Structure 1
Amino acid sequence: MNGPEITLEVAPELRLFVPHDRRGGPTPLVTDGSSTLGHVIESLGVPLTEAGTLLVNGAPVARSHVPGPGEHVDVHAVERPQRVPGAPLRFLLDVHLGTLARRLRLLGVDAAYESEDIGDPALAALSARERRVLLSRDRGLLRRREIWAGAYVYSDRPAEQLRDVLGRFTPALAPWTRCTACNGMLAGASKDTVSELLEHGTQEAYDVFAQCTECSRVYWRGAHHGHLETIVSEAVAEFGGAPA
């Protein structure tokens, strides 16, 4: 590349995306003189979904800005909490984030999830068609231009992933209102209504049930409820919402 030389610095939160020799502070970078700042940032490995305010010599610029000789560029991380205008806040998770999807649904957050790998183009198209924020740890997927909105999931641990998403987007929480299997809404159900779907022991031991209005799966406060209650209570305590 033979063009203007700039100085570029990325925010500490974004340094995991760039080469090691660019993680210590401002570093020189030779550009081609025609690429936009957005393209330059992305070429260094930073998904544009994670880039917030861009400053050139201290002044905000658009991603379409073409860097000139001697400019100093600061790349800030996206502001939190992040607002996503234009549609109700809904999510789409890729095939590797199944546990996160179930935990979001447990909290009443609209979280579509593809349990099979349908491919990046199909996921991006689904994000655009349904106006869902695409959550992924795949930087290549997040670079696709057709996605409605996207966010990189920074951790590979479900508990940290959940805190990351809730802290970044602050969705309204309504625990115990969605089916963790299909994302449908739950409704109260009598024992008589769902008895044919229950094992005999469950019928004898429990009286309060809910059923998914989409897939008909039945829920009750069984042996794993304590673990789920912990997830819910911790999320509600930190991010708000009714424990229900």
Structure 2
Amino acid sequence: MERPEIWISFAPELHLFVASARRTGRSAVRTDGASTLGHVVESLGVPLTEVGTLLVDGRPADTSHVPRGSEEIEVRSVARPQPVAGPTRFLLDVHLGTLTRRLRLLGIDAAYENPDIGDAALAARSAAEQRVLLSRDRGLLRRRELWAGAYVYSHRPADQLRDVLSRFAPPLAPWTRCTACNGTLRPAAKEAVHRQLLDGTQHAYDAFAQCTACAQVYWRGAHHARLNEIVDEALRDFGTPGAVPA
């Protein structure tokens, strides 16, 4: 029995996932007549985390649809901002350490696994804690046990941050989260943290914050100007702060 042939096209944002022959217009695909549309799309290289609306002959369809011969399939990318059920919380894999720290700098709940605990454990934690898994690993994003996931499109941390903020529009609360462990920060009196400070720091600064989880102490030191640039740019382009900086 001849396998059904369908015609499929991908949104430009998805072209990096598919073979070059499928990046211009529509292309023919032979299916087995039993696989779902979601399986077909993934078999062509596109993680379903990156797929938005699916159109079959111009009408919206679900990933469970089984394509029939001669159908015209249009695969669109995820709409932005992308809604998330419940609070917007993230889990990042071992390769996204800088992005993790920048998300935390903005007060965004961003868990991080280092060292690498493996794909299965990452996906399981995403499901158990209902966190959006951020990764540049396409195979990881195809794991069925994921609660939600998103591909990080750039190698550059600044572009990665803009990508995540534009896609999920999380509330921003700069200077309220520990960049080291993801705990929350609270103001701390100099007298309470003086044993953790070098003499120069004690004499030069008076305002401090401390992590409620790991006890790390923060102050507006030499790197504050650069960090403030990151915060100001994020607030300017992606919203207003959710809390007053510490």
Question: TM-score with structure 1 length normalisation?
Answer: 0.98
For residues 192 and 210 of structure 1, the distance between their equivalents in structure 2, rounded to whole angstroms, comes to 12
**Aligned match of 2:155:** 156
Q: Which amino acid aligns with 2:191?
A: D
For residues 2 and 89 of structure 2, the distance between their equivalents in structure 1, rounded to whole angstroms, comes to 43
**Aligned match of 1:46:** 46
Task: Give the aligned CA root-mean-square deviation in angstroms.
Answer: 1.0
**Aligned match of 1:82:** 82
For residues 33 and 203 of structure 1, the distance between their equivalents in structure 2, rounded to whole angstroms, comes to 71
Give per-residue Cα distances to partners, 1:68-92, cap 9 Å, x unaligned.
010000000011100012x311000
CA displacement at 1:115 relative to structure 2: 1.8
DSSP-derived class of the 1:171 partner: coil
**Aligned match of 2:17:** 17
DSSP-derived class of the 1:13 partner: helix
DSSP-derived class of the 1:92 partner: strand
Relative distance call for 1:64 and 1:199 in structure 2 (3 A) is same
Q: Which amino acid aligns with 2:219?
A: W
Give per-residue Cα distances to partners, 1:137-184, cap 9 Å, x unaligned.
000000000011000000010000000000000000000000000000
CA displacement at 1:25 relative to structure 2: 1.1
Q: Which amino acid aligns with 2:192?
A: T
For residues 53 and 47 of structure 2, the distance between their equivalents in structure 1, rounded to whole angstroms, comes to 14
**Aligned match of 2:90:** 91
**Aligned match of 1:6:** 6
For residues 212 and 84 of structure 1, the distance between their equivalents in structure 2, rounded to whole angstroms, comes to 27
DSSP-derived class of the 1:53 partner: strand
For residues 157 and 239 of structure 2, the distance between their equivalents in structure 1, rounded to whole angstroms, comes to 19
**Aligned match of 2:239:** 240
**Alignment length, in residue pairs?**
243
For residues 213 and 185 of structure 2, the distance between their equivalents in structure 1, rounded to whole angstroms, comes to 8
Q: Which amino acid aligns with 2:236?
A: A
DSSP-derived class of the 2:38 partner: helix
Q: Which amino acid aligns with 2:23?
A: R
CA displacement at 1:56 relative to structure 2: 0.5
8 Å Cα contact 1:2/1:30 also seen in 2: no
Give per-residue Cα distances to partners, 1:72-121, cap 9 Å, x unaligned.
00000011100012x31100000000000000000000000012100000
For residues 19 and 179 of structure 2, the distance between their equivalents in structure 1, rounded to whole angstroms, comes to 38
Question: TM-score with structure 2 length normalisation?
Answer: 0.97
Give per-residue Cα distances to partners, 1:13-55, cap 9 Å, x unaligned.
0011000110111011111110000000000000000001000
**Aligned match of 2:61:** 61
For residues 148 and 179 of structure 2, the distance between their equivalents in structure 1, rounded to whole angstroms, comes to 23
Please state if 1:27 is matched with 2:27. yes
8 Å Cα contact 1:125/1:147 also seen in 2: yes
Point out where structure 1 has 5 or more consecutive residues left out of the alignment: none
Please state if 1:217 is matched with 2:182. no
8 Å Cα contact 1:38/1:63 also seen in 2: yes
Q: How does 1:193-212 map to 2 (within 5 A)?
A: 193-212=192-211
**Aligned match of 1:118:** 117
CA displacement at 1:241 relative to structure 2: 2.0
Between 1:218-227 and 1:234-243, the stretch displaced more is: 234-243
For residues 136 and 129 of structure 1, the distance between their equivalents in structure 2, rounded to whole angstroms, comes to 18
Q: Which amino acid aligns with 1:133?
A: V
Identity of aligned residues (%): 67
For residues 2 and 142 of structure 1, the distance between their equivalents in structure 2, rounded to whole angstroms, comes to 32
Point out where structure 2 has 5 or more consecutive residues left out of the alignment: none
CA displacement at 1:2 relative to structure 2: 5.1
For residues 214 and 64 of structure 1, the distance between their equivalents in structure 2, rounded to whole angstroms, comes to 44
Q: Which amino acid aligns with 1:193?
A: A
